[in-house]
Amino acid sequence: MNCEETGRWLSAHLDCELDLAKDAEVTAHLQGCPACASRARRLRETAAQVRSDLPRFAPPAALEARIRASAGAAAPFRPARRWGTWEAVGILAAACVVFVAGYHLGSGRTAAGQAGDDLISAIVRAREDERIIDVVSSDRHTVKPWLAARLDFSPPVADLAAEGYPLVGGRLDRLSGRQAAAVVYQRNQHTITVFIWEGPGPLPATGARLGYGVRAWKAGGLDFAAVSDVAPADLDAFVRLFKAIR
Amino acid sequence: MLPHLPTAYNLARWLLRNDHDAEDAVQEAYLKALRAFDRFRGGDGRAWLLAIVRNGCYSRLRQQRRVEPHDAFDESVHGAADTRGEEAERERAAADAAALAGAVGRLPEGMREMILLRDFEGLSYREIAEVAEVPVGTVMSRLARARERLQRELAPGREGGSL
């Protein structure tokens, strides 16, 4: 990774928001490049300065009263409900607490939703970074060892070209802080990404999410999620084939 | 206290840079949030509310014809010209909270909101993506440009690096 590329990822590196492989590349570059290391330090200082020195504007005391008054006036237009307006906001606030707690306990529906969000983020990130594939090969005997050498587990990689889902390649990714293999297959003009990672943890919810279909399952001690924008029937067919071949 | 009111007001005030507009925008946003509460599907209530506040601020800015399109954040449009005055020079030399506030205030809104949501309010990239209704990758690149730019404005003589 050169200085220009490092500069592009530096900010996200400081925020710990990069995927595993990219983060390692940035760290390696910073260790050998005093100029970029000093640039990183200055960026960190700027962020810290904003945190500590930027003036915060407090809402004027009258604002809350004004909002409550106008909400009261607006209330008759809202559908009848058993709880009042501000109780609703209270429930909203309480819901946040419950959801946050849900994340931290790593359980329940919300955790599954969170895991689903992580999948979509990983897809979008790969697309934006134009880093969809680290190892380009239609040969599973190339892709599988490449991934296995970089992960703590050996992800199954299937050859489904005859069934209409040719293998394109694979990349390293990260889901909820865990390393994951992302194996990419093609279906007509679309791609299907199969994420494979080690449990335990909540499986992402199967269904549709932000325009992507998600199918998640467990097999052989590993968690799987196929994500794609192909037609749902194609995705289901792919998952059946994938499971059968293993 | 209404949930998230200080955060909502601070965001609106920094985006609109005017007490009166910020108060109106926040009031509207809370009313809208209450009307839309039926559609709230769970998830991050703070991000949901801030997205409504932010959208209200941007429509106000658009009405005031002060907002640039999102992809106009390049240096040719938002170059150093607006910071060249003597006043800006003094601010920079002082390098104090006022200079920082000035520099943040001079950022284009799309960059300013990234700095506010991340460095000031401590939201994750995912939450910011939800508030700004853009992909996480866009948050990443926009925030990076915003910080670089802010840092240049605050320390013009110390650039270095390999840009």
Q: What is the pLDDT of residues A117-173, one digit of tens each?
A: 788 778 877 776 666 677 777 788 888 888 888 888 889 998 888 888 999 888 888
Smallest CA–CA distance, residue B140 to chain A, in Å, is 6
For residue A38, give the chain B residue with the closest CA: B161
Confidence of residue A6 (pLDDT cuts 50, 70, 90): very high
- With a threshold of 0.90, tell me whether the complex ipTM lies above it: no
B151 Cβ under 8 Å from any chain A Cβ: yes
Confidence of residue B53 (pLDDT cuts 50, 70, 90): very high
- Say yes or no for a CB contact (<8 Å) between A15 and B118: yes
Pairing of strands A167-175, A135-136: antiparallel
pLDDT given at position A113: 75
pLDDT given at position B1: 63
Report the C-alpha gap between B63 and A69 in whole angstroms. Answer: 26
- Say yes or no for a CB contact (<8 Å) between A92 and B40: yes
Q: Is the pLDDT of residue A208 over 90?
A: no
Beta-carbon count within 10 A of A237 CB: 16
Chain B residues within 8 A of A86 when measuring between CB atoms = 2
Q: What is the pLDDT of residues A45-82, one digit of tens each?
A: 888 888 888 888 999 989 988 888 887 765 443 343 44
B137 Cβ under 8 Å from any chain A Cβ: yes
Report the C-alpha gap between A86 and A81 in whole angstroms. Answer: 12
Chain B residues within 8 A of A77 when measuring between CB atoms = 35
- Say yes or no for a CB contact (<8 Å) between B137 and A127: yes
Judge if pTM exceeds 0.90.
Answer: no
Q: Are B127 and B46 in contact (CB under 8 A)?
A: yes
Q: Is the pLDDT of residue A12 over 50?
A: yes
pLDDT given at position A37: 93
Q: Is the pLDDT of residue B71 over 60?
A: no
Residues A140, A125, A30, A34, CA torsion sign: positive
Report the C-alpha gap between B149 and B108 in whole angstroms. Answer: 10
Q: Are A85 and A75 in contact (CB under 8 A)?
A: yes
Q: Are A172 and A179 in contact (CB under 8 A)?
A: yes
In 3-state terms chain A splits into helix, strand, coil percentages (rounded to 5) of 55, 20, 25
pLDDT given at position B88: 59
Give the range among A193-197, A218-222, B25-29 with minimum mean pLDDT: A218-222
Smallest CA–CA distance, residue B122 to chain A, in Å, is 9
The DSSP H or E segment spanning A123 is: helix A108-128
Smallest CA–CA distance, residue B146 to chain A, in Å, is 10
Beta-carbon count within 10 A of A41 CB: 12
Chain B residues within 8 A of A10 when measuring between CB atoms = 144
Q: Is the pLDDT of residue A103 over 70?
A: no
Our measurement of the distance from residue B131's CA atom to the centroid of its chain's CA atoms, rounded to an integer in Å, reads 11
Instruction: Tell me the average pLDDT across A11-34.
Output: 90
What number of C-beta contacts closer than 8 Å exist between A and B? Answer: 171
Smallest CA–CA distance, residue A141 to chain B, in Å, is 32
Q: Tell me the three state secondary structure of residue A206.
A: coil
pLDDT given at position B84: 56
Q: Are A121 and B73 in contact (CB under 8 A)?
A: no
Q: What is the pLDDT of residues B84-125, one digit of tens each?
A: 556 655 555 555 678 889 899 999 999 999 999 998 888 889
DSSP E strands, chain A: 135-136, 167-175, 178-187, 190-198, 207-209, 212-219, 222-228
Higher pLDDT, B137 or A100: B137
Higher pLDDT, A134 or A197: A197
Chain B residues within 8 A of A43 when measuring between CB atoms = 147-148, 151
Smallest CA–CA distance, residue A145 to chain B, in Å, is 29
DSSP B55-78: HHHHHHHHHTT-PPPTT--STTTS
Q: Are A237 and A147 in contact (CB under 8 A)?
A: no
According to the 3-state scheme, what is the secondary structure of B107-156? Answer: CCHHHHHHHHHHHHCCCCHHHHHHHHCCCHHHHHHHHHHHHHHHHHHHCH
pLDDT given at position B160: 45
B14 Cβ under 8 Å from any chain A Cβ: yes
For residue A76, give the chain B residue with the closest CA: B35
Which B residues, 23 through 42, put their C-beta within 8 Å of a C-beta on chain A? 23, 26-27, 30-31, 33-35, 37-38, 40, 42
Confidence of residue B140 (pLDDT cuts 50, 70, 90): very high
Q: Is the pLDDT of residue A229 over 90?
A: no
Give the range among A26-35, A221-230, B10-19, B89-98 with minimum mean pLDDT: B89-98
Q: Tell me the three state secondary structure of residue A164.
A: coil
Q: What b/e readout covers A175-191, taking b as 16+ CB neighbours within 10 angstroms? A: bbeebbbbbbbbbeeeb
Report the C-alpha gap between A19 and A126 in whole angstroms. Answer: 10
Higher pLDDT, A192 or B78: A192
